[in-house]
Amino acid sequence: MRLPRILLLTLLVAALADPTLTQSTARAAAAPAAPEFAQFDGGLTTLDGPWQFHLGDDAAWAATGFDDSGWEQLAVNKPWGAQGHESVDGFAWYRRHVQLKPGQQAPDQLAVLIPAVEDAYEIYWNGHLVGANGALPPHPVWFFDLRPHTWGLGPAQSGVLAVRTWKAPYGSYDNGRQGGFHAPPVLGSPKAIGNAMSAADYRWLRGRQVTFALESLYGLVAVLGFMFWLRDRSQWLAFWMACFAAARPLALTLIGLKLPISLVVAMGLNQPLYVLGDISMWYVLVWLLGLHDSERVVRLTRILAIVEFAEGIFDGCLTYGFSLSNPHPWQVLDMALMPLVMLLELYPFYLIGYAVVHKRKLDPARWIVAVLAFLSQTIFVVGVALQQGSRFTHITLGDKIAAPLFVVLGNAVNARTLTGALLLVALVYAVYRYSAESHRQQARMEEEIRNARAVQQVLIPEAIPATPGFKVESVYRPADEVGGDFFQILPLRGGGVLSVIGDVSGKGIPAAMTVSLLVGTVRTLAHYTQSPAEILAAMNQRMLARSRDGGFTTCLILRADPDGKVTAANAGHLAPYLKCREMALESGLPLGLSATALYTESTSQLADGEQLTLLTDGVVEARSKTGELFGFDRTSAIAADTAESIAEAAQKFGQQDDITVLTLNRSHGDDGVLSQRAVAATA
């Protein structure tokens, strides 16, 4: 009797020293002596308890008569990675002997519900293949979200249920505790199995209500944001908000709805969507925090966005490598990318810090968005970072961060879901406030432009006064709401006419104010002097005294006397055309550049019936769609035409700037009244 005790003691010491031997001995000792009878309750029986389990692959393991008594036993309510086979991927088989008790009330036909199994599998009943989910190597196809399936087994009988499973290679984010079954299969009548499947689908849908509702709201925000941006292309905040919101429901469609989309395709498309959400969030913060006026921030954001998007596409392509026979290089690349990903995920912290350091004055709504974005990103970055390589580090904090905080009506809500919901509400409110503020500013600007336009319309003559001995026509066509061109036609007391034409640098309200200043100066000075050079000199001094933005103005003043004598002075403007050629005219500096600028008068003679044509550079600088300029040659060729035809030719060619044309014809028989057609063109 002593020998067995000594032998038993020796085996016990060896087992304690070798955990593998302990596990093997325990598993072997747990092998059932005989299969249990299936007990149907309501037409169903759950095939829980231990199943025979073996790593590897052999087609003979599907056979009914195969002896699996030496196999290991595993529970099927959790993966094999959580039962001593951590970080093991590839093939494994499960077998279960199903014994129907003679005389019991059993279904006429049998069906089986196979719950979540990673990642692809085939199911055999009594050695015959009855179904498969996905495809096994050498050309594997598996899906991101595991979904239960039902299979018919035929007439009720005892037999062996064998499941051939394949676990895909582990990614950098896997903890190594995956593989095989997650819940036990259910056996029963086809009707009862169908009801069980419906109940499982209902529980899944009920448990996803919060997620579906939140992502639907994100989708609605995306649609409204894109519509708002299409209506007003200047609202870039709405565009980026729409992109950020659209990324989440699109990703849910790929990987969260249990659609039959292979994981390689789903993850390959999901990675660019994921980085699109990141990039969009960056630009939302740039606009909400008022950083879009910082060239440094905008340039850095653009560079990092390009890097992030390229990384996302490359990372998506890496998924394809996991379906190859040797996935190890792709796993290494996947891990190598993670430091770059983590660094890019930290960029919102920089944007928020930049706004704080530079003391951007923002309303509370925008700061709430910034804080929630910071919190949401922190939770995500820390969670993902801790999950990377967790099967080697055995750090479980990442899983704890992703764990539910509470359950609402069967819906698990974790920290990221909660912050995502709060962030959505804050973003919508902040964007609404931003848009309302932008609309108010735009309305004020439009009102100012209308007022400036009204001022300019008063300064630009709608009707040319009577100029005996001369026929004057004018056309004024601004390129923008408020143009920078101006002209004046002033009859002189002793006969003749003083013509002024000019072009103020810049556009909009500042240009309109400068035009107002110059026109007022011309009208005042015309009462005291008719010398074009003296008027230009006075205009130059007035502009220098009032101008603060460094702008300048080109201007041409021309006096035509009753006898046809023409006296002109030029401040950097285009020379007038006489007989389709530019007049020889000395040009001084534009107004507003130098206090010592001098302006010289030149004289010429306008014969009876001849026409002088004055115009701005909007004519010669008209540009076609191909980039060709209207140019001086075309201008010279039509310089003897009417003012309206010249302006129309330039406008049809491709107007880029304000167009102003004045024509002055000497005619003793003309009363100087502008034709009706020219009046319409001027108005």
Within 13 A of 376's CA, how many CA atoms are on the CB side?
Answer: 21
pLDDT at residue 391, as a whole number:
64
Within 13 A of 385's CA, how many CA atoms are on the CB side?
Answer: 14
What the block records as the tokens of 184 is 């036990």
- Domain extents in the chain: 1-25, 31-203, 207-441, 460-682
pTM: 0.60
List, edge to edge, every strand of the sheet that includes 149-155: 44-46, 186-188, 109-114, 149-155
Q: Mind listing the pLDDT tens digit for each residue in 405-444?
A: 888 877 888 887 888 888 888 877 877 777 777 778 777 7
Report the alpha-carbon distance of residue 259 to residue 514 in Å, rounded: 65
682 has pLDDT over 60: no
Report the alpha-carbon distance of residue 291 to residue 297 in Å, rounded: 7
CATH architecture of 460-682: 4-Layer Sandwich (3.60)
Written as one letter, the residue type at 675 is S
Q: Which residue would you say has higher pLDDT here, 253 or 326?
A: 253
Beta partners for 262?
143
Which contiguous run of DSSP H or E holds residue 115?
Answer: none
pLDDT at residue 393, as a whole number:
63
pLDDT at residue 453, as a whole number:
63
Give the domain 31-203 fold: Jelly Rolls (2.60.120)
Helix (H, G, I), strand (E, B) or coil at 438: helix
28 has pLDDT over 50: no
pLDDT at residue 121, as a whole number:
96
Domain 31-203 shares a fold with domain 460-682: no
Residue 527 phi, psi dihedral angles, 5° rounding: -80, -15
Q: Looking at 561-642, which runs of residues are DSSP E strands?
A: 565-571, 577-578, 581-582, 587-588, 601-605, 611-615
Q: Mind listing the pLDDT tens digit for each residue in 46-74?
A: 999 899 999 999 999 999 999 999 999 99
Q: Which residue would you say has higher pLDDT here, 668 or 600?
A: 600
**Pair type for strands 159-167 and 90-100:** antiparallel
Q: Mind listing the pLDDT tens digit for each residue in 356-386?
A: 888 777 777 777 777 787 777 677 767 766 6
Per-residue H/E/C for 281-331: HHHHHHHHCCCCCCHHHHHHHHHHHHHHHHHHHHHHHHHHHCCCCCCHHHH
Mean pLDDT of 77-97: 94
Pick from 115-119, 161-165, 257-261, 336-340: least confident: 336-340
Mean pLDDT of 89-106: 86
pLDDT at residue 4, as a whole number:
39
pLDDT at residue 548, as a whole number:
62
**pLDDT above 70 as % of the chain:** 85
pLDDT at residue 36, as a whole number:
64
Q: Which residue would you say has higher pLDDT here, 128 or 548?
A: 128
pLDDT at residue 40, as a whole number:
78
449 has pLDDT over 70: no
- CB-CB contact of 102 with 152 (8 Å): no
Q: How far is CA 35 from the centre of its chain?
A: 59
Helix (H, G, I), strand (E, B) or coil at 568: strand
Give the domain 207-441 fold: Rhopdopsin 7-helix transmembrane proteins (1.20.1070)
- CB-CB contact of 372 with 366 (8 Å): no
- CB-CB contact of 619 with 650 (8 Å): yes
